[in-house]
Amino acid sequence: MSTVSLAPRRPVLADRVLPRSLVVDAALVLAGAALTAGLAQLAIPIWPVPITGQTFAVLLVGTTLGSLRGALSMALYLVAGVLGAPIFAEQHSGNLFALTSGGFIIGFIAAAALVGWLAQLQWDRVVLRTIVSFLAGAAVMYAFGLPWLAMVLNGFGPSVWHGALRYDSLWAAVWGAGFFPFLLGDALKALLAGLLLPLAWRALGRSGRAK
């Protein structure tokens, strides 16, 4: 008899360790949001976008939970923060339009969905594919985050992106403050995932849990 669950038909890491049920799904979605909230507080407080550990959490949650549960976990994170829980970077919360990084938070949902889908295709079992998956997820976050950052900085006006940040143009400020400082960290996170996730699959295989 089958058990009702949001787990994908092709199992991801969470499904190799835990039973499939709606109760387990809910716990995983909540745990993923909590992990993201926790790593969001590991931050280097630079402006306009802080360097945090939450992007690694987003991609890890998406990969281990799969596309649907990963996206739901990030949606829960977003909603909880908007409703007032101090779980965004540097314990911020509330209206996303007040945050220069609001677009990245929206992008978390799409990024988790993408890497989760790739994990369902077993990309997280191979080092190179895992690295590509994490880099693709990061690219999705930038696709949402950078236009949002441009909108916010444009609202502030040249006194901020030219005077305070010392960039010659709005888009120079967007790329210089919202993209280039994060490239090394994105690469390191992808390399770390490329080492750990396939290793986890091999460990499960040796333990007899993998099917």
Q: Does residue 210 belong to any structural domain of this protein? A: no
- Residue 211 domain-assigned (yes or no): no
**Segments of the chain scoring below 70 in pLDDT:** 1-2, 206-211
Would you call 52 helix, strand, or coil by DSSP?
Answer: strand
pLDDT at position 207 is: 64
Question: Residue 183 CB: number of other CB atoms within 10 A?
Answer: 10
Q: Is residue 5 part of a domain?
A: no
How many domains does the chain fold into? 1
Task: Determine the Cα–Cα distance for residues 66 and 171; give it in Å rounded to an integer.
Answer: 34
User: In this structure, what DSSP letter does residue 164 have?
Assistant: I
What is residue 209's predicted lDDT score, i.e. its pLDDT?
Answer: 46
pLDDT 10s digits, 134-166 = 999 999 999 999 999 999 999 988 888 777 788
Distance of CA 63 to the CA centre of its chain: 10
Shortest CA distance to 66 belongs to which of 128, 24, 3, 127? 24
Per the domain annotation, does 192 fall within a domain? yes
pTM of the model: 0.93
CATH number of the domain within which 39 lies? 1.10.1760.20
Of 64, 77, 85, nearest in space to 107 by CA:
77
Residue from 119, 104, 23 nearest 70 by CA: 119
Asked if residue 204 lies in contact with residue 16, where contact means CB atoms within 8 angstroms, the answer is yes
Residue 101 tokens read as 């990084």
Residue 30 located in a structural domain:
yes
**Residue 96 to residue 205: CA distance in whole angstroms:** 43
If we measure between CA atoms, which residue out of 51, 42, 197, 182 comes closest to residue 115?
197
**pLDDT tens digit sequence for 89-118:** 989 999 998 899 999 999 999 999 999 999
Please give the span between the terminal C-alpha atoms of the chain, in angstroms, as a whole number: 19
Residue 7 forms part of a structural domain: no
Q: Which domain holds residue 155?
A: 13-205
183 falls within a domain: yes
